[in-house]
A and B are shown apart, each in its own frame.
Chain A
């Protein structure tokens, strides 16, 4: 059974870089047709999709964050990571990683919904 676990600093200073890692256990990040996502949720608010990465390293980012976000994958350690630079208080949130499948048919690429989520890690941006 695949499980995801986020890790990283709980406190980041303004203007610095937020760095989180999601460790995948119970399965290989490289096997199967999956994409790996980051999602965040400010306290008491809704969910925001940050972006995703495939095991090939191909990425898609939310344009609202694109200039500040990098998602990378480390297949040897079965992890993928999030870097968000130039953070402000508005980046304070619980950050989740997630897994979703995809497949190809005659119509092309078909993503599925995120079916496995990490427990989330709270990140506060404050001096």
Chain B
């Protein structure tokens, strides 16, 4: 199975500041024939299902604020929130859909400092 390791496990950022979450894959999730990275980012708030933020590593899902951005390729990926808002407090997960079984990172808990 592909193992996704997120860092840090938790993060406290001041309102308006930048938040950065990393996701490292145990093997590449880049499909060379189409140059797409099969990696997504989700946001999960307490008592709610995950919400898709980013797919193909950097494509923003419709309706997601542009302060959320994804980057990276191959095995190393980053989710960046450019200016943290109070409603961004949540747990964030990366997920690979390159190879079954699809797997998730362990999650990163984002809080306000």
Contact = CB atoms under 8 A, between A and B. Distances in A.
Q: Do A and B bind each other?
A: yes
Interface of A: 46-49, 51-52, 60-64, 96, 98, 100, 105-108, 110-115, 117-120
Contact of A46 (B38, B49, B102, B107): B107
B95 interface: yes
Given A107-B33, A110-B34, A113-B52, A48 B104 contact: yes
Contact of A114 (B36, B52, B100): B52
Nearest to A94: B49
B55 interface: yes
Contacts of B100: 49, 52, 60, 62
Contact of A107 (B34, B51, B106): B34
Contacts of B38: 111
A120 B49 CA distance: 7
A53 to B, nearest CB: 12
A102 to B, nearest CB: 10
Interface residues of B, number: 25
Interface of B: 1, 31, 33-34, 36, 38, 40, 48-52, 55, 61, 93, 95, 97, 100-107
A-B complex: 9 closest residue pairs judged by Cβ atoms: A107-B33, A113-B40, A117-B49, A62-B101, A113-B55, A47-B104, A49-B102, A60-B100, A115-B52
Provide the main secondary structure of the chain A interface: strand
15 contacts: A46-B104, A47-B104, A49-B100, A49-B101, A63-B1, A96-B50, A106-B33, A107-B31, A107-B34, A110-B34, A113-B40, A113-B52, A114-B52, A115-B52, A120-B49
